[in-house]
Amino acid sequence: MTQSKRVGLFVTCLVDLFRPTVGFASVKLLEDAGCTVEVPAAQTCCGQPAYNSGDLKDTKAIARQVIAAFEDYDYVVAPSGSCAGMIKHHYPELFADEPDWAQRAHHLAARTHELVSFLTDILGVAAVASAHAGTVTYHDSCSGLRELDVHDQPRKLLASVDGLHLREQEDAHVCCGFGGTFCIKYPDISNKMVEAKTANIVATGAETLLAGDMGCLMNMAGKLQRDGAGIRVRHVAEVLAGMADGPAIGEAAHKNGEAVGE
Amino acid sequence: MYVSTSSAFKSNAARELKNADLQTALGKARGHFIDGRQTAVDRLPEFDALRDRGRDIKNHVIEHLDFYLETFEENVRKAGGHVHWARTAAEAQAIVLDICRSVGATSVNKGKSMISEECGINDALEANGIRAVETDLGEYIIQLRGEKPSHIIAPAVHVTRAQVETSFREAHTHLDPARNLDEPPTMLDEARGVLRKKYFEAEVGITGANFLVAETGTSIIVTNEGNGDLSQLLPKVHIALASIEKVVPTLEDTATLLRLLARSATGQEFSSYTTLSTGPRRAGDPDGPEQYHVVLLDNGRSAMLGTEFQDMLRCIRCGACMNHCPVYQSVGGHAYGWVYPGPMGAVLTPSLLGIAEGGQLPNASTFCGRCEEVCPVRIPLPKMMRHWRNHEHEAHLSPGGYRVGLGLWAFFARRPALYRLAAGLQARLMARLARQRGRFSSLPLAKGWTRYRDLPAPEGRTFQSLWAERRRGGGA
């Protein structure tokens, strides 16, 4: 590699607040692949909560913020198909009637990628140097799958993890029922959907569930834990980066230990 | 008229989630539709190209709707038939009643028609002393049960086999109580046996229309039971009910759409019966009605032209969107409260009934995108549901508490420095509260979440604060 690629990491609000480990795993994967990673401070969220609630005014304000904050990077990478899809597909639509911003939105969209597919499709990473003993199953989050064609990429990299065995679940591509604000507006239906999902996960007999989006992961982790299923839940980046030693999502910190980062 | 309960979607859904029979029936049907479609699509490598053609044909028609409707009308007249224009469901009812009265009808046979449901034709006929007999097996079952269809192509998909058997034994009291009704074929035989006689009693046959062919003035129905043919051929009068967007320029265009329809709907390459009707019986024809009428219904569709919902008029009513929708598959069609359920209904219902009545439906989606992925004419259903949410927000129709919460969140999200501070505090506070377990089993502000699942707690510090520390040389 002649010159290191400058990547702006779009952390995502859920990783920032709930699971910084995923952020550091993303940084490690990107740096291992030869990128220089920066994290602009002027980022909060991609705006989906407002966008999916019909609040275009706030969505645009947040989108302008993101566009401005990430304008100077070679690439923008997010450990989430949902947030990357928002920037890549929906930002340009948002500004269809504002030519200046539309141009900037398109410019950003063209350089924005979901983490795992960026590693494989853009950087050409074919294997990672990490180990994870045990059986995992992988859930395809909707936006990553249908907006960004993220399907084979995580499976390809997981296959290179030493000791890891992937067992596919039935209906891996069916929505887990999270849907952002959907799970708050329609908790009964959301529950029905996540019940169907966790039944398929449990049926695999896998010890660990992986996926690429924190929202879906928190939904499925919360359900599995409520049911006492005993399945650990992690973001796929944690395993790929070899950073899956700490507590899984929704698990207590190790005995005598503090929560990660304290 | 079909009285909508769409505004009560939430309580409808809560009821249906507890409906054990519905959940059993949905579970049985789901794989059948999804696997069937996938197999049919896999066998046709050019399926996606066909979808593009289907989309383009329908777009062209919608752009020139007036021309094709008038051409269709002219060609129906040339073939000796009649075209009636109905602006509303009430006008359609009146037209159908007038035709029935003109021949002194006391009995009407019905082929499956969602436009008939939309217009409440059966109730209008019964209120005027005319017996309406549904001849599609699914429609016949729900007519016996006093229900509405819960799916646009499989109207009784919500009914279990045991429930069908019970309904048949209650209604067909003249048959041997010891007869076998264990299997679908025996049930079908029984329904056929009962219906066969009624075909010869009706003076009028009413069907829907999957397509109206402008160049020939032909209406087309596709069925798998053959009931539609008998309903329209045996009586003296055939009335085809169709909404205005069903018109297609040519027979060749129709063939393209038929190939998409059967594969998307039932996974068939072609339906068992594809019946073309052009005018009444001509001299020398072996059979056919003496009169042929087409009722063209608008009922709010023309108002969708030129709006962001125009693409919805491409819909060919295959039902693939609802077969693949995890929300529909959780609550069934009746929860949607009106004629059209699932993703297509979530766009169409507010378009035809208004946002105050139908506004819940486009909110009840995770935007998972499966509906758009399988739509044979590539309707961007999630995008249009989003348009409805935009309208709802603009009109201040979304719930007050939700708007306040969203406004508060947006206030912080638009101010990165303040947001970092607030997120940092929240992460620490929540992590401290949950320290023992790493998650919450109840949290006052997240009741909708914690009623059914635990809420994972934050790790303790935000990524941004840890990253800043690392940059200053304090961290890894």
**CB of B442 closer than 8 Å to CB of B454:** no
* Cα-based angle B469, B472, B476 (whole degrees, multiple of 5): 60
- Residue A242 pLDDT more than 80? yes
E strands, B193-321, where?
204-207, 211-213, 218-223, 237-243, 247-248, 273-277, 291-297
Residue B437 vs residue B341, higher pLDDT: B341
Integer Cα distance of B286 and B281 in angstroms: 8
Residue B400 is predicted with a pLDDT of 87
Tell me the percentage of chain B whose pLDDT exceeds 90.
87
Instruction: Choose among B243, B241, B254, B242: nearest CA to B214.
Output: B254
Residue A167 vs residue B1, higher pLDDT: A167
**Residue B367 is nearest to which of A20, A179, A190, comparing CB atoms?**
A179
Residue A76: C-alpha distances to residues A38, A39, A71, B144, B161 (Å): 10, 10, 9, 60, 54
Q: Report residue B30's pLDDT band, with 50, 70 and 90 as the boundaries.
A: confident
* Residue A36 CB partners (closer than 8 Å, separation 6+): A4, A5, A6, A7
Residue A53 is predicted with a pLDDT of 95
Tell me how close the Cα of A20 comes to any Cα of chain B, in angstroms: 4
Q: Measured between CB atoms, does B416 come within 8 Å of chain A?
A: yes
Q: Report residue B443's pLDDT band, with 50, 70 and 90 as the boundaries.
A: confident
A149-153, A252-256, B347-351: the lowest-pLDDT one? A252-256
- Residue B255 pLDDT more than 90? yes
Q: What angle, 0 to 180 degrees and rounded to 10, lies between the N-to-C axes of helices A56-69 and A99-111?
A: 60
Q: Measured between CB atoms, does B391 come within 8 Å of chain A?
A: yes
Q: Report residue B383's pLDDT band, with 50, 70 and 90 as the boundaries.
A: very high
- Residue A261 pLDDT more than 70? no
Integer Cα distance of A114 and A81 in angstroms: 5
Residues 360..389 of B with a Cβ closer than 8 Å to A: which?
A: 363-370, 372-373, 386, 388-389
Tell me the percentage of chain A whose pLDDT exceeds 70.
96
Tell me the percentage of chain B whose pLDDT exceeds 70.
99
- Residue B427 pLDDT more than 70? yes
* Residue A31 CB partners (closer than 8 Å, separation 6+): A37
Nearest CA in chain A to B15: A188
Answer yes or no: same fold for A5-121 and A127-240. Answer: yes
- Residue B434 pLDDT more than 80? yes
Integer Cα distance of B316 and B260 in angstroms: 9
**pLDDT per residue as tens digits for the range A27-50:** 999 999 999 999 999 999 999 999
CATH of A5-121, one of 3.30.750, 3.40.50, 3.40.1440, 1.20.1250: 3.40.50
**Residue A188 is nearest to which of B13, B386, B423, comparing CB atoms?**
B13
- Residue A257 pLDDT more than 80? no
Q: Quick check: B391 and A221 CB within 8 A?
A: no
* Cα-based angle A253, A258, A259 (whole degrees, multiple of 5): 60
Integer Cα distance of A42 and B356 in angstroms: 39
Residue A34 is predicted with a pLDDT of 97
Integer Cα distance of B308 and B384 in angstroms: 7
- Residue A126 pLDDT more than 70? yes
Burial of B168 from C-beta contacts in 10 A (0-12 / 13-18 / 19+): buried
**pLDDT per residue as tens digits for the range B321-343:** 999 999 999 999 999 999 999 99
In this structure, CATH architecture of domain A127-240: 3-Layer(aba) Sandwich (3.40)
**pLDDT per residue as tens digits for the range A77-86:** 999 999 999 9
Residue B473 is predicted with a pLDDT of 81
Q: Report residue B217's pLDDT band, with 50, 70 and 90 as the boundaries.
A: very high
- Residue B114 pLDDT more than 70? yes
Nearest CA in chain A to B14: A188
Q: Measured between CB atoms, does B27 come within 8 Å of chain A?
A: no
Q: Quick check: B448 and A222 CB within 8 A?
A: no
Residue B248 is predicted with a pLDDT of 98
Domain ranges of chain A: 5-121, 127-240
Average per-residue pLDDT for chain B: 95
Residue A262 is predicted with a pLDDT of 30
**CB of B137 closer than 8 Å to CB of B188:** yes
Integer Cα distance of A18 and A45 in angstroms: 13
Integer Cα distance of B170 and B417 in angstroms: 70
Q: Quick check: B390 and A56 CB within 8 A?
A: yes
Domain ranges of chain B: 6-302, 401-471
Name the CATH topology of B6-302. Answer: Rossmann fold (3.40.50)
Q: Report residue B397's pLDDT band, with 50, 70 and 90 as the boundaries.
A: confident
Residue B474 is predicted with a pLDDT of 58
Phi, psi angle pair for B278, to nearest 5°: -125, 100
**pLDDT per residue as tens digits for the range B139-183:** 999 999 999 999 999 999 999 999 999 999 999 999 999 999 988
Q: Quick check: A223 and B453 CB within 8 A?
A: yes
Instruction: Choose among B242, B476, B326: nearest CA to A191.
Output: B326
Residue A254 is predicted with a pLDDT of 66
Residue A256 is predicted with a pLDDT of 47
Averaged over B360-382, what is the pLDDT? 98
Report which residue type is found at B326: P
Averaged over B390-405, what is the pLDDT? 90
Residue B173 is predicted with a pLDDT of 92
Residue B31 is predicted with a pLDDT of 86
Residue B457: list chain A partners with CB under 8 A.
Answer: 18, 250
Q: Quick check: A178 and B366 CB within 8 A?
A: yes
Q: Measured between CB atoms, does B390 come within 8 Å of chain A?
A: yes
Q: Quick check: A252 and B436 CB within 8 A?
A: yes
Q: Measured between CB atoms, does B462 come within 8 Å of chain A?
A: yes
Q: Report residue A253's pLDDT band, with 50, 70 and 90 as the boundaries.
A: confident
